[in-house]
Amino acid sequence: MPLTSDDDIATLLRNTRTIAMVGASDKPQRDSNRVMEYLVGRGYRVLPVNPRITGQHVHGEYVWRELDQIGVPIDLVDCFVNSSRVGAIVDQAILVGAKAIWMQLGVIDEDAAARAEAAGLKVVMDRCPKIEIPRLGIEPVTEID
């Protein structure tokens, strides 16, 4: 069952430090770019993943082709893609040992969510962290908790 309670979502966001954003864009007018900028401004390390712009930089971070290339622990994989692409991302997230999957507004895949949960990942579906963080009163990320 995806996380739906405010307490569970707030706990996930408070425990997250590194986010891999699949579908990150280098175009400032795109929602993924604005959400990434917001998250970086809140202290999260956001690693963009997008095969179309691999090797470029978005908000100071190198853009990776795939999750398995990142090479650092990933707390949360933010899926900024069409629902039909989430299943493959979830499978990669499981393989790299990510702790959670976040599906953006309008992104819903019940089967992928069930696979992620069966592998021990937390799942949030059809929500945006840029909306949830201020709504839940999440403080900016700091190195020392």
DSSP 65-104: SSGGGS-S--SEEEE-S-GGGHHHHHHHHHHHT-SEEEEP
Contact 45/71 with Cβ under 8 angstroms? no
pLDDT band with cut points at 50, 70 and 90 for residue 111: very high
pLDDT over 60 (residue 144): no
Summarize pLDDT for 123-133 with one digit per residue, the tens. 999 999 999 99
pLDDT at residue 145, as a whole number: 46
* Percent with pLDDT over 90 in the chain: 94
Q: Summarize the confidence of residues 59-74 as an average pLDDT.
A: 97
Q: Which residues contact 28 (CB under 8 A, 6 or more apart)?
A: 34
CATH for 6-136 is 3.40.50.720
